[in-house]
Amino acid sequence: MPDAALHTPYPPIEPYRTGMLPVDAIHTLYWEECGNPDGVPVLFLHGGPGAGLSPKHRQFFDPAYYRIVLFDQRGAGQSTPLGEYRNNTTQLLIQDIEQIREMLGIAQWLVFGGSWGSTLSLAYGQAHPERCTGFVLRGIFLCTRSEVDWFLNGIRWFFPKEHAAFAGHIPEAERGDLLKAYAQRLFSDDPAENLAAARSWSRYEGSCLHLLPHPEVADQFGSDAVALGVGRLEAHYMRNGAFLDDNQLVRNVGRIRHLPAVIVQGRYDAVCPPRSAWALHEAWPEARLQVIEDAGHAAFEPGIASALVAATEQFKRDGTL
């Protein structure tokens, strides 16, 4: 593999165009374009659901080569209303992606997504394979029942203190079904109760992202601007199985197997364990699976960030038009 120093993220950039797109009577989406307006289109899909964009997400792509399209999904980031779960399904997010693509006059694009972004990338690709030139996927999450159970309960085997705080937000009598208990609080009519539950949920996830501790990330995830989107929307999608049939994304991989793909997975990813990436790779052996031996889940752990930039560089060399 080339020297990792060749694959550090690109320097920070600013969008050359931004906008707000109303998609229904409730939701308005924030979107932006960066890089080369005449470049090869690439779509970035953020995680969560509900985590929203960071300016750092623009840095996985060569801005001289790529026309970089990013947007905050329904209920996330700068899209409004924050944390809104009504009219919020995978199928509607796929429709939103198509509306943005048509608005921007893009025929096809490379699709890049991590964690929940990998879920949405696969669902979108399988719905519209003719619109995709390939995929860069990180920290695979297929939103199966076993993965949801792992997130809610299994992580305690590796992060017992963090899980104890997460479960401790719920009275002991209700801890047998943490998803149900959190949902009752996240979707109650009491905004203060919503926010307290969302902070607890989001801080829990933020505390488990990295191989090595990064307490500042947990603090960021516990902030109101992040927590309400992450807590409410993750619970909403988990309790609805991401509005997909169980294991649907693996069963339907034949719809996109003809397209090139790179899968980047942290060996010690406690949030989205490597078993899901392996299951996807077994169904899609043509996809290149790269396991990063010294990483957890976070996109900007050095080995993962390097592999992601290397993947976009590989697509640049191979061409995606």
pLDDT of res. 224: 79
User: Tokens 């809610």 identify what position?
Assistant: 152
Q: Confirm whether 294 is a catalytic residue.
A: no
Q: Mean pLDDT throughout 56-77?
A: 98
Euclidean distance between the first and the last CA atom of the chain, given in angstroms as a whole number = 25
What would the mean pLDDT of 174-181 be, rounded to a whole number? 96
Averaged over 194-202, what is the pLDDT?
A: 94
Torsion of CA 126, 129, 134, 135, to 10 degrees: -20
Q: How many residues does the chain have?
A: 321
Residue 214 pLDDT grade (very low, low, confident, very high; cuts 50, 70, 90) = confident
Residues with Cβ within 8 Å of residue 109, at least 6 apart in sequence? 40, 41, 42, 43, 69, 101, 131, 132, 133
> Which one is catalytic: 115, 207, 276, 306?
115
pLDDT of 256 reads: 98
* Reduced 3-state DSSP string for 9-23: CCCCCCCCEEEEEEC
Q: How confident is the model at residue 129 (pLDDT cuts 50, 70, 90)?
A: very high
d(CA 237, CA 306): 30
Catalytic residue among 163, 169, 207, 269: 269
Global pTM reads 0.95
Strand partners of residue 32: 18, 70
pLDDT at 217 over 80: no
- Residue 5: strand, helix, or coil: helix
Q: For position 226, what pLDDT does the model report?
A: 84
Q: Quote the mean pLDDT of the chain.
A: 94
Domain 4-144+243-318 carries which CATH code? 3.40.50.1820
* Residue-level pLDDT at 200: 95
Give me the pLDDT at residue 216, please: 80
Q: Is the pLDDT score of 2 beyond 50?
A: no
249-293 pLDDT tens trace: 999 999 999 999 999 999 999 999 999 999 999 999 999 999 999
Domain boundaries in the chain?
4-144+243-318, 146-242
Question: In the structure, what pLDDT confidence band is assigned to residue 1 with cuts at 50, 70 and 90?
Answer: very low
CA 202, chain centre distance (Å): 14
pLDDT at 3 > cutoff 90: no
**pLDDT above 50: residue 27:** yes
Stronger pLDDT, 165 or 212, i.e. the higher one = 165
Q: Report the greatest alpha carbon distance in the chain.
A: 58
- Annotated active-site residue 115? The verdict is yes
pLDDT at 6: 61
**For this structure, is 169 an active site residue?**
no
- List b or e across 272-303, with b for residues whose CB sees 16 or more CB atoms inside 10 angstroms: bbbebbebbbebbeebebbbbeebbbbbbbeb
CA distance 73 to 55: 15
From the list 57, 121, 297, 306, the catalytic residue is: 297
Dump pLDDT digits (tens) for 38-54. Answer: 999 999 999 999 999 99
Check if the beta carbon of residue 232 is closer than 8 Å to that of residue 75.
Answer: yes
Instruction: Report residue 226 as tokens.
Output: 């992040």
The Cβ of residue 157 has, within 10 Å, a number of other Cβ atoms equal to 10
Asked if the model's pLDDT at residue 4 lies above 50, the reply is no
